[in-house]
């Protein structure tokens, strides 16, 4: 579904930065967790896939089609950041509508799609509220709702739930799992919490120094890995 091959990048403005090179595959209906220490390259990986920074080599394929040469707007994927996902002056409905058409000219069918997304995310009745009137969890639900109405097959979560408390984080992950199953999405979820990977993913990738060091079933990677790097990171 999503295939990343020898995707490389180099921070030209950082003197001692190591060249990064990623290799990953995510299947339809799967949430692949990506964990690793700070500065390991997790967010850089998502920025490369989303096209925010240009890769120096390698390829990204979605459903067999290479997308690495496309601008961020043309890539068939959605992304949810940790914060600032919503425009503060626009209400919930308009924030979601931007995912369908940036000019905000919507037909009845598109309005219905937004209503469905609101319903699926438990946001009915919040349409007219501004982001400042929502809790952190509700704001992230709106961001996910917008990602869903775009109907792309790939969803990138960049520490999307890091600012939420443990219970709310778990609730959000369960919500994403249900949506992934329903819409058959391929998701990369970057997190600095190994516990998130446990809840969300059957497979987890451990990234360090700009490389995927290990890609294994989550339980195996978190509990039985022999890698010193992973054990140091987990503190086990």
- Name the segment binding other proteins (CB under 8 A); options: 100-108, 168-176, 187-195, 200-208: 100-108
Cβ atoms of 197 and 35 closer than 8 Å: yes
Give the separation between CA 156 and CA 52, rounded to whole angstroms. 13
Token look-up 């425009």 returns 87
Using the minimum distance from each CB to other proteins, give the nearer residue, 57 or 72.
Answer: 72
Q: Does 99 bind other proteins (CB under 8 A)?
A: yes
What is the nearest approach in angstroms of other proteins to the Cβ of residue 198?
Answer: 28
Q: Does 44 bind other proteins (CB under 8 A)?
A: no
- Which of 90, 106, 216, 234 binds other proteins (CB under 8 A)? It is 90
H-type helices in 18-75, by residue range? 42-50
Ranges of beta strands (E only) in 10-131 are: 20-26, 30-35, 57-62, 65-66, 77-80
Count of positions on this chain that bind other proteins (CB under 8 A) = 32
Q: Does 69 bind other proteins (CB under 8 A)?
A: yes
Binding to other proteins in span 123-162, by CB under 8 A? 130-133, 146
Residues comprising the chain, all counted: 236
DSSP secondary structure string for all residues of 70-104: S-GGGSSEEEE-SS--S-TTS-HHHHHHTTT-TT-
What is the nearest approach in angstroms of other proteins to the Cβ of residue 195?
Answer: 27
Using the minimum distance from each CB to other proteins, give the nearer residue, 88 or 125.
Answer: 88
Q: Does 50 bind other proteins (CB under 8 A)?
A: yes
Q: Does 102 bind other proteins (CB under 8 A)?
A: yes
Give the separation between CA 99 and CA 148, rounded to whole angstroms. 9
DSSP state of 86: S
- Which of 3, 37, 76, 98 binds other proteins (CB under 8 A)? It is 98
């Amino acid at each position: 579904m999503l295939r990343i091959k020898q995707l490389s990048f180099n921070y030209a403005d950082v003197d001692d930065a190591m060249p990064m090179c990623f290799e990953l595959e995510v299947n339809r209906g799967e949430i692949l967790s990506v964990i690793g220490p700070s500065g390991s390259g997790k967010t850089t990986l998502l920025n490369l896939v989303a096209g925010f920074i240009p890769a120096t080599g390698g390829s990204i394929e979605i459903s067999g089609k290479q997308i690495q040469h496309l601008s961020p707007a043309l890539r068939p994927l959605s992304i949810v950041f940790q914060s600032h996902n919503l425009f503060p002056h626009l209400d919930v409905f308009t924030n979601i509508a931007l995912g369908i058409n940036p000019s905000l000219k919507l037909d009845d069918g598109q309005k219905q799609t937004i209503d469905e997304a609101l319903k699926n995310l438990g946001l009915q009745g919040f349409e007219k509220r501004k982001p400042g009137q929502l809790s952190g969890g509700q704001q992230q639900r709106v961001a996910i709702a917008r990602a869903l109405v775009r109907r792309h097959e790939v969803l990138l979560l960049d520490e999307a739930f890091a600012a939420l408390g443990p219970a709310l984080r778990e609730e959000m992950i369960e919500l994403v799992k249900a949506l992934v199953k329903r819409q058959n999405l391929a998701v990369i979820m970057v997190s600095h919490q190994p516990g998130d990977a446990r809840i969300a993913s059957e497979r987890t990738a451990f990234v360090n120094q700009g490389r995927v060091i290990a890609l294994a079933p989550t339980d195996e990677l978190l509990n039985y890995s022999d890698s010193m790097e992973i054990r140091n990171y987990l503190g086990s």
